[in-house]
């Protein structure tokens, strides 16, 4: 199973999650608030991979090198020098490092870039359009009335799925690695 996590920069805001089977079926989904909830969930569910929508490293200033590769390829990302992005990165790094110490594989992803990499041309703010795209491209049945955080968590899990089957699009550099979904 693959856990997709759309991490918020602060524990006071909801972080969406989606647990995806290797058959691309959503097994569980919802929201976390605090780091301990995320870590406890992973320890109970024992996913094969955790795919987090958050920077899992900090750059030297400005964009990280893997983000520069994304920008060069035409994707839009924010640098970790922005206050809320730095907070998100620090939280992501804490969770990733804690889980890695427990033996879990953790990757960084960017759902919006995954959508674009897979041919999504629609409005990136339209949840219903994104849900239709996910159903059409990956055959994933999406629960009704879910939040955008959960939709992004599903996309994070699909990037993790692509990674597990060896079909992911990977932007790798000396300071980070960002994994994008592919259509397989």
Q: How many domains does the chain have?
A: 1
Longest Cα–Cα distance in the chain: 42
Instruction: Give the structural domain span for 22.
Output: 2-180
With a cut of 90, say whether residue 183 has pLDDT above it. Answer: no
Digit-coded pLDDT (tens) for 89-141 = 999 999 999 999 999 999 999 999 999 999 899 888 888 999 999 999 999 99
The pLDDT confidence band at residue 80, using thresholds 50, 70 and 90, is confident
For the chain, give the mean pLDDT. 93
Contact 127, 91 (CB under 8 A): no
Q: Which residues contact 156 (CB under 8 A, 6 or more apart)?
A: 4, 5, 6, 18, 51, 52, 53, 109, 111
The crossing angle, in degrees rounded to 10, of helices 35-45 and 83-101 is 30
* CATH assignment of the domain containing 72: 3.30.420.10
Distance between CA atoms of residues 34 and 107, nearest Å: 20
Share of the chain above pLDDT 90, in %: 80
Digit-coded pLDDT (tens) for 12-64 = 899 999 999 999 999 999 999 999 999 999 999 999 999 999 999 987 778 88
């Amino acid at each position: 199973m693959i856990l997709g996590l759309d991490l918020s920069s602060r524990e006071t805001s909801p972080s969406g999650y989606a647990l995806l089977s290797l058959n691309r079926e959503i097994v569980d989904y919802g929201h976390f608030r605090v780091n301990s909830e995320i870590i406890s969930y992973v320890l109970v569910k024992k996913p094969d991979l955790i795919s987090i929508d958050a920077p899992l490293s900090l750059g030297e200033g400005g964009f990280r090198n893997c983000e520069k590769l994304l920008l060069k390829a035409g994707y839009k990302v924010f640098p970790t020098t922005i206050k809320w992005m730095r907070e998100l990165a620090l939280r992501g790094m804490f969770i990733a490092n804690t889980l890695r110490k427990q033996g879990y594989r953790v990757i960084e992803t960017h759902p919006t870039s995954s959508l674009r990499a897979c041919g999504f041309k629609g409005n990136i703010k339209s949840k219903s359009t994104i849900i239709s795209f996910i159903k059409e491209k990956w055959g994933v049945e999406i629960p009704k009335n879910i939040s955008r955080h959960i939709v992004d968590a599903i996309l994070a899990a699909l990037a993790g799925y692509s990674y597990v089957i060896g079909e992911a699009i990977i932007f790798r550099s000396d300071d980070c690695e960002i994994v994008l979904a592919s259509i397989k």
